[in-house]
Amino acid sequence: GLAKQEFYNHLRKQVSVEVLRRDAVRFLNDKMGPSAEGIAIKLERAKTMAELRPLLVSAAQLLASFHGADVAKDFALRFLADEGT
């Protein structure tokens, strides 16, 4: 819900691109195992939020196809929710 999203937004403001990238890769590996390797490699190469964000969108879409909307929504709330909301 909204409280969860606000919590993640608060956390995201305090973390670097490196930490966000690492946590996203960990989430993907936990949920998808070896199937996450391709997107994980791309995420690891991202150095800025501008590079990272579209890859996170792709990762959420991949999660949706593997595990359904709920898992993808959880990922999006953690790693993609807009910081201004």
The series of mean pLDDT values per 10 residues for the chain, 85 residues long, is 73 75 96 95 93 96 95 94 53
Give me the pLDDT at residue 4, please.
79
CA 12, CA 61: separation in Å to the nearest integer?
20
CA 1, CA 35: separation in Å to the nearest integer?
29
Nearest to residue 1, comparing CAs of 84, 81, 83, 67? Answer: 81
| 17's tokens | 């691109």
Nearest to residue 19, comparing CAs of 64, 57, 50, 49? Answer: 49
Provide the sign of the torsion angle of the four alpha carbons 1, 3, 46, 22, taken in this order.
negative
Secondary structure class of 84 (helix, strand, coil): coil
